[in-house]
Structure formats: structure tokens, C-alpha cells
Chain A
């Protein structure tokens, strides 16, 4: 579980996050949604400590980040995996080396154990014959898979994904979303996913936090998102006609239940 308490973050004059509080539960795919530039990436990077926050506290399974020294924070980060927007694979390394990297750095496994681990996670993300390829030889979807494999190879307790399906075709996007959700359940991870994609919300949104102008403008589940009267989230969701129709269906459903 991750507890976020009143965090704020500004870059110089520009305040990006304003007093954000929320919680993210274990074993669930938690979505952070908002327009481009609304501060989703800054929020995620603040949580993992890549940005220092100006105010507020963050606790990972009850441990407050600000009570830890810099080196202890780095220790804690070994329990976190992150999938970056552009995948952030190491260009100079093969797929297998990328995935093996955390093991290489932080474990004393034998070569055999390491390659078994690497095979296991690459198989988990359905990527079996790309071990010796370099990132420049991979498609966007494959890069994402490698990035996910690298993020889970150390069996993290927390998984962060920054727009995991941006730049992918709709079909691949759904596969990646599903993969992340399966992994979240299988390994019982606290997963946070940034997205501006309503398809992902529909597909895997178990808890949704909507950020607008640096504040939490709405939070709830995907079932709730279509029936809420909250203006801000409605404006965001119904930018597309499709979802106006989806809203009708959901409201019908809600009515028939009562």
C-alpha cells in the first residue's frame, strides 16, 4: 500500500502538484489519469523519490520515505519497479542484459540462476526469442515488454508505469494493459499506472485518481466514473462521443440495480 499525504511540488514559479492526498492498494491496478501536462509523470517521479517534494509525506507499506537517509531510500527502491514512458532501456545492452541488470547489480546469484530468472520474466511478458537483440532492434510494444520484465525481475512490491501504452497501436496497448494487470494480481503488487487513455481506464481501472491542474479532482472506480456528477471528470471522459454512449449504458445499469 502507498499512502500519499498532502504532497506539493513546484519547479521554480510553476506549481505542478498541489496538496495531493490519496492511497493506493496492494494487488490492484491504480490509475492516475489526467490531460497531458497535468503532472502525472511528476507525481509518479515524486512518489519514487526521483523528484524531491516540497511538502507532504509518502509511506510505502507504512514506511515514510522522509524518515530514511538517501542510501536507505535507494535500498527501498529495490522493492520498486518502474516502466518509463519511453521504456528507458539501456541502449548499450541486449534485452537479456537489460533484464539481468538489477540482478547483476544487487544479487549474488550465479550466472545460471540469473539466466533462469531472466528467462522466467521474459517468458512471463511473452518475449522468448529476443534475448540477444538490442533495444534499437525492437518494436515499441516489445520495448515495453522488456521494460516490464526488467521492472519485475527483482520481485518488486511496488510497480510504477508511466503511460505504458502510449505510442502503441490499440491492440498492443490492450495486451500491455492486461499484462500489467495480470502481473499485479499474480505477484500481489501495488501498481500505479499513469494514463490519459480512456481505453485503459475501461480495461484495468480498479482505482482511478483524476488529476487536474495539480489537484486530485476526483477519485473512484471505473464503474463510478461514468455515473458521477463531477463536472471535471465528466469533461475529461466525454471528450469522446463513444464514452457519452458508454455513460448512458452505465446509468441504465445503475438504475436497474436500484
Chain B
């Protein structure tokens, strides 16, 4: 019962994001700030993680392909598929729930407990629009970050193949070009976009409707991380079944 109520309230909040918008001159600045905070400031960690995860995927694949009859290009192929289909869009998104999601929950949550949200409402500002809309728009750039993660992941795989002597460069490159299905990339971008919307709004919900004090802000960030991750994992399953199944 409580969950149904919460889902309803989340839905209403989503509608509220688009009502009575904040004036554009103010909103533009907010959006740019959020792009910087949510996207640019995440690129470092995204690149770092994808590079090494790509490398590990390559090593694992190579170590499991012991039969001499299997071509070495398979290593490149497997790396490309894993990185594009899951590691870049899903794995990175879970990391982003931890980074971006916690930031959103705690920044909005601390504004709630210090009555800054009330202050906005008293002035006649639609606080949901003011606080969440810029984050939502900024997160629409998230698929670009995922594209970077794809490149870096595959690049990391190639480096691992080369330096660990798992596959000759020519074979690896041939592998990543083998049986390329364009729709797989589309699928990954659709997923990333859906995850972006979830990462922008669900942690915001947890912060916005927070009750209590500073202690609750910390707790809310944790609860928000768990729920947002769970939702992403489930949505990932559903989208994969719908789009590829």
C-alpha cells in the first residue's frame, strides 16, 4: 500500500516538473551548471572505470577461450558486445547512481531540511521545476557520456589484449568489426536515456520528500541508492526483453 502511494506521488512529481516553468534566463544558467556538475564532473570516473573494465573483459574472455580452433578475433568481438550492450550502459549507470544520484538526493534533501524548499515555495517558485528540471535536461546528455564509455571500454580491451599478449592487434580489430549490428548501439542508447531519466528523478524524489534532519539526509542517500539501482536493474531486464528478446 505504501509503495503504491509512493509511486503515485513520484508520478505527480514528474508531472509537476513541467508545470509553471521557471523563467528561461534563470533556468538556462541552472541547466549549464547541472551539465557541468552531473556530466562533465563524471567523465573522469566514467573513463577510468570503462578503460579497466574493458581490459578485464578482454582478459577474462581470452582466458576462457583456450581451444586453439577458435579464432583470436573472438576476443575483440566478445569485448565489443559486452561493453556496448551491458558494461557501458548498465554498469556505468549503477556507478552514476552512486555518484550523481547521491549528490542529487543529498543536495535536494539538505535544502528540504533547512527549509530552503519551503522558502522557494513561499516566494511562489515551483520548487520541483526549479530543482529537478535542470537536472533532467542535463542528464539528457548522459548518452554522450555512455558513448565515451563504449569507446574507452573497447580501447581498454585492446590495450589489455596487446600488453598481455592475448590477441594480436589485427585479430582484435577484426573482432570488434565482426557482425556489427547497428541496433545494438541504438538499444544501448535507448537504455542510457531511460536510465538518465531515472537517475535524474528518482534520487530527486528521495531528497524532495525527505523528513527530518541532517541524519535523515544521509539515510535518504543510501535508501535512494538502493532503490534507484534496483529500478535500473529491473528496467534493464524489461528493456532488454522488449528490444532484443
Task: Report B-chain residues with C-beta under 8 Å of the C-beta of A77.
Answer: 121-124
The stretch of B111-119, B138-146, B226-234 in contact with A is B111-119
Tell me whether B20 and A86 are in contact (CB under 8 A). Answer: no
Task: Report A-chain residues with C-beta under 8 Å of the C-beta of B122.
Answer: 48, 50, 77, 80-82, 160
From A51, which residue of chain B is reached at the shortest CB distance?
A: B118
B126 in contact (CB, < 8 A):
yes
Bound CA span A154–B116, Å? 18
Query: If A82-B122, A101-B123, A105-B123 touch, does A74 touch B20 (CB 8 Å cutoff)?
Result: yes
A140 in contact (CB, < 8 A):
no
Bound CA span A78–B126, Å? 12
B173 vs chain A, min Cβ distance (A): 47
Task: Report A-chain residues with C-beta under 8 Å of the C-beta of B26.
Answer: 104-105
Cβ < 8 Å to B, chain A residues 169-214: none
Tell me whether A88 and B116 are in contact (CB under 8 A). Answer: yes
13 contacts between A and B (CB under 8 A): A50-B121, A82-B122, A88-B115, A88-B118, A88-B119, A89-B116, A91-B110, A91-B114, A104-B26, A105-B23, A105-B124, A105-B125, A106-B123
From A80, A81, A86, give the contact of B115 (CB < 8 A): A86
Tell me whether B124 and A75 are in contact (CB under 8 A). Answer: yes
Tell me whether A74 and B124 are in contact (CB under 8 A). Answer: yes
Bound CA span A237–B64, Å? 82
Bound CA span A77–B125, Å? 9
Task: Report B-chain residues with C-beta under 8 Å of the C-beta of A160.
Answer: 122
B222 in contact (CB, < 8 A):
no
Bound CA span A81–B118, Å? 12
Cβ < 8 Å to A, chain B residues 97-130: 110-111, 114-116, 118-119, 121-126
Bound CA span A86–B117, Å? 13
Task: Report B-chain residues with C-beta under 8 Å of the C-beta of A89.
Answer: 116
Bound CA span A76–B121, Å? 11
B42 in contact (CB, < 8 A):
no
Cβ < 8 Å to B, chain A residues 77-127: 77-78, 80-82, 84-86, 88-91, 101-102, 104-106
Cβ < 8 Å to A, chain B residues 1-56: 19-20, 22-23, 26
From B22, B114, B125, give the contact of A88 (CB < 8 A): B114
A45 in contact (CB, < 8 A):
yes
- Name A's interface SS: mixed
Task: Report A-chain residues with C-beta under 8 Å of the C-beta of B115.
Answer: 84-86, 88
B241 vs chain A, min Cβ distance (A): 40
| Interface residues of B, count at CB 8 A | 18
A71 in contact (CB, < 8 A):
yes
B42 vs chain A, min Cβ distance (A): 19
Task: Report A-chain residues with C-beta under 8 Å of the C-beta of B19.
Answer: 71
Tell me whether A102 and B123 are in contact (CB under 8 A). Answer: yes
From B118, which residue of chain A is reached at the shortest CB distance?
A: A50
Task: Report A-chain residues with C-beta under 8 Å of the C-beta of B119.
Answer: 82, 84, 88, 90
User: Which 6 pairs across A and B sit closest by C-beta, in order of nearness?
Assistant: A88-B115, A74-B124, A88-B119, A77-B124, A84-B115, A82-B122
From A76, A82, A105, give the contact of B22 (CB < 8 A): A105
Tell me whether A91 and B124 are in contact (CB under 8 A). Answer: no
Query: If A71-B20, A105-B22 touch, does A91 touch B116 (CB 8 Å cutoff)?
Result: yes
Tell me whether A74 and B126 are in contact (CB under 8 A). Answer: yes
Bound CA span A20–B19, Å? 33
From B130, which residue of chain A is reached at the shortest CB distance?
A: A105
Task: Report A-chain residues with C-beta under 8 Å of the C-beta of B123.
Answer: 77-78, 101-102, 105-106, 154
Query: If A71-B20, A74-B20 touch, does A106 touch B124 (CB 8 Å cutoff)?
Result: yes
A98 vs chain B, min Cβ distance (A): 9
From B119, which residue of chain A is reached at the shortest CB distance?
A: A88
A48 vs chain B, min Cβ distance (A): 6
Task: Report B-chain residues with C-beta under 8 Å of the C-beta of A154.
Answer: 123
Select the residue from A84, A89, A105, A154 with max chain B CB neighbours within 10 A.
A105
Bound CA span A81–B124, Å? 10
From B121, which residue of chain A is reached at the shortest CB distance?
A: A50
Task: Report A-chain residues with C-beta under 8 Å of the C-beta of B22.
Answer: 105
A155 vs chain B, min Cβ distance (A): 13
Query: If A74-B20, A104-B26 touch, does A84 touch B118 (CB 8 Å cutoff)?
Result: yes
Task: Report B-chain residues with C-beta under 8 Å of the C-beta of A90.
Answer: 116, 119
A108 vs chain B, min Cβ distance (A): 9
Bound CA span A160–B122, Å? 10
From B123, which residue of chain A is reached at the shortest CB distance?
A: A102
A94 vs chain B, min Cβ distance (A): 14
Cβ < 8 Å to B, chain A residues 112-171: 154, 160
A96 vs chain B, min Cβ distance (A): 16
